Amino acid sequence: MKKVMMACLLIIIVLISGCSQPTDAGEPTEPSGQEEPTGVIEETDMPSGETELVKSSLGRETSPQVDPEALETLSQSQTEFALSFYDQIRNGTSNIIFSPFSISLALSMTLAGAESTTEQAMLDGLKLTLSETELHAAINALLLEIEASQNMDMEEVEGSQFELNIANSIWGQSGYDFKEAFLDTLAVNYGAGIYNVDFIQNPETSRVAINDWVEEETQDKIQDLIPQGAIDSLTRLVLANAIYFNGSWRYPFSETQTAAAPFTTLDGSEISVEMMKVMGENFQYVEGEGFNAIALPYLSPDFNMLILVPELGAYEGFEGSLSTQFLNEIIGDMSSEAVNLEMPKFDFETTTNATGPLKSLGMTEAFQSETADFSGITGVEKLYISEVLHKATITVDEEGTEAAAATAVIMKIESAMPGEPKSLVIDRPFLFFIQHQPTGSILFMGRVTEP
C-alpha cells in the first residue's frame, strides 16, 4: 500500500526592502549610530551550500513556565481566528483547504518585531488576547505539547505510520543588523536562528536555497513556492516554518469496499464520487439539530479529522452560523458510537491571497508603509507587509490524509457501550477540521462541496 502522509504546513515570510536601490550593490546602507549586528555566528549545514548561521546565544526554552489558562486562551484565540478567516474566504461554491495554524504561526513570528499600534493591530487581527510577552512563551508551550504527541506510545498497525515534525528557519541578508531582542525571541520560543544569504548579490541563489528547504521539509509537496522575481536585491529577510504530519487512520477504510456512489453538490446537482466505507467502528459522534458530526482518529489518538455534515439543502445556513462557541459545543456533545461510515475520497488544492481577509480582520496598519512599525526587527530600514499569500493541498483516501500548506508574507520598505451501529453517508457538502485534540489547535480547515 502506498505511504500516506498528512503533511506540511509551511510558512514563508519575505521581508523585502524596496524604496530605493542601495548605492553599494554589495552591502545595505545603514544609518550612522546603529548598534553592531548581534548574535553568534556558527557553521551549520544548509541547502545550496550556505553555511553561516546567526543566532542568539540563548537556546530554546524546553520547559516554559506558562499558566494552563494562557494555553487555553491561546487555543481559543486560534480557533476564533480560524473561523473568522474562513468567514472571509468562504464566498462561492468551490472546495476550500487552508491552514489557519500556518498563517497564525507565521504572523506570530512576525509579531516578534512589531511595535506600538502595529503590534496591537496584528494581535487584534489574529484574535489574540494575550500580550505579546505572554504570547511567544505560550506558543512555545503549545508547540512543545503538539510535538510531545509525536513521541507518545501508540499501538502500531502494520502498514500504517504516524510522524510529526515542526521546523522553523529564517533567512537574512548577510551583514544586516538584526536586533538582539528579536533574535532572542525567535531562538527561545521558536528554536530558530538566521541563515545568512546574499539577497543583494545573489537573489536567485537565495531563492533556490529557500525553496530547497521548503521542499525537503514538506517531502516535496510544496515545490517552487517562491517564484522567480519574488526575491530580488531588495529582499532582506525570509522567515519560514514547516509542519510535516504523516498520519494513517486508526480505522482504515477497506479499499475493496470503495465504489462509485452519488454526491449532491451545493446547487442540487448529482455527481458520481468514489465512496469509501468503514463499518461498525467506534467514533466520537453526535447527531445535532440539522447536522451530524464525526471525528476520525489518526494513528496517534491526539489527532483527528472532525467532519461536520449539515442536512441536505441546509449547508449555507449552517456554515454561516459556525462560531467558536458552537464548535466547542459540538465537540463537547460528542460521545463514542459504533458507526457505519461512508465518505468520499477527495483531493484538491486552494490558493488564497490572504491580504484582503487579514485587512478585514483589523490588520490594515501592518500593510501600510506610512503606519507600520516593525522596528523591533531592525533599525536599518522601515518595513511593512505588502502581501500575504497562502496555498494548501489535501488528499484523503482509504489509508489516511496527506496535506500541505505554505504561506508567504511579503514585507517591503517604502523606497460509550456498543449498540446498533449508527449510519452516516456523507453524500452532500461538508466541513472538516484536522485538529490536535489536547490543545484544540486546528491545523487544517476546509470544506468539500464537490469531491
Let me know: does 95 contact 89? Beta carbons within 8 Å. Answer: no
What local confidence, expressed as pLDDT, does residue 87 receive?
Answer: 95
Nearest to 394 by CA among 451, 318, 310, 309: 451
Per residue in 96-136, pLDDT tens? 989 898 888 888 988 999 999 999 999 999 999 999 889 99
Residue 445's pLDDT band (boundaries 50, 70, 90)?
very high
pLDDT-derived band of residue 34, with 50, 70 and 90 as boundaries?
A: very low
CB 114 within 8 A of CB 366: yes
Whether 282 shows a pLDDT value over 90: the answer reads: yes
Q: State pTM to two decimals.
A: 0.83
pLDDT grade for 38, boundaries at 50, 70 and 90: very low
Domain ranges of the chain: 9-248+348-412, 255-344+418-448
Contact 295, 286 (CB under 8 A): no
State the average pLDDT over residues 9-28.
Answer: 37
Query: What are the DSSP E strand ranges found in 303-449?
Result: 303-310, 335-344, 346-353, 384-396, 400-412, 422-425, 430-436, 441-448
**What nine digits make up the cell of 225?**
513556492
164-178, 280-294, 312-326, range with the lowest pLDDT: 164-178
Cite the beta strand spans of 63-189 per DSSP E: 96-98, 162-173
Quote the mean pLDDT of the chain: 82
pLDDT of residue 448: 92
Q: Which residue has the higher pLDDT, 156 or 29?
A: 156
Higher pLDDT, 270 or 380: 270
- Per-residue pLDDT band for 418 (boundaries 50, 70, 90) equals low
Strand residues in 17-127 grouped as ranges (E):
40-43, 52-55, 96-98
66-100, pLDDT tens digit by residue? 999 999 999 999 999 999 999 999 999 999 989 89
Give the percent of the chain with pLDDT over 70. 84
pLDDT tens, position by position, 338-382: 999 999 999 988 888 888 999 999 999 998 988 989 899 888 778
CATH assignment of 9-248+348-412, among 3.40.50.10710, 3.10.20.30, 3.40.50.410, 3.30.497.10 = 3.30.497.10
Looking at residues 286-306, what average pLDDT do you find?
93
More confident residue, 49 or 348: 348
**Domain 9-248+348-412 and domain 255-344+418-448 have a common topology:** no
Using only the alpha carbons of the chain, give its radius of gyration. Answer: 23
Q: What is the mean pLDDT of residues 169-181?
A: 83
Give the pLDDT of residue 5. Answer: 41
Instruction: Give the pLDDT mean for 311-334.
Output: 95
Q: Tell me the C-alpha distance between 374 and 178, whole Å.
A: 11
9, pLDDT greater than 60: no
Write down the pLDDT at residue 24: 35
pLDDT at 161 (0 to 100): 72
Architecture of domain 255-344+418-448: Roll (2.30)
